[in-house]
Amino acid sequence: MRGILLVALISFQADISAAQDIDQFRWLIGKWKHTDSTGTVIEEWSKFNDNQMMGKSKTYDASGKEVFNESLLIEALGGDVWYIAKLPDKVAKFEMSEIGVNTATFVDPKNDFPSLIRYKRAAKILIIELEGMQGGKPVSQMYKMHIQS
């Protein structure tokens, strides 16, 4: 009986810990938009459950035609936090390497581009930075997103 109670208590503590990990990302919640001369990127985040934040990202060219989309997931799993991007042709899994107040960094050294994804929020602006290699050369991109809702 004592062993069952201990297992239940440990399980309950793990659930609280995972929820606290995901609650660190509440600042991502909302619909974010970046527009420049090449087109528009829209990224939307919501809390799915105590262990997961769900997102989606869509890119449109200057004419408004959708040219890219991906499903996104931030998941607290076994004490680690993962950022998972489901693209049309593959799934990329990034491990959280850094967390701060309204900032988070995820890395996947096996992925050429991006191998690093960083989110930073300041008031109603979300900065997304992507870094990695393309064609053997270092590449970086930055998106300044504005909250829509």
The residue-averaged pLDDT of 111-133 equals: 97
Record the pTM: 0.84
Cα–Cα distance for residue pair 40/34, rounded to 1 Å: 6
Per-residue b or e along 122-132, where b marks 16 or more CB atoms closer than 10 Å to that residue's CB? eeeebebeebb
CA-based nearest residue to 50, from 28, 19, 4: 19
Q: Which domains does the chain have, with CATH numbers?
A: 2-147 (2.40.128.20)
> pLDDT tens across 34-53, in order?
999 999 999 999 999 999 99
Per-residue b or e along 81-104, where b marks 16 or more CB atoms closer than 10 Å to that residue's CB? bbbbbeeeeeebebebeeeeebeb
> pLDDT tens across 88-121, in order?
999 999 999 999 999 999 999 999 999 999 999 9
User: In degrees rounded to 5, what are phi and psi of residue 70?
Assistant: -150, 150
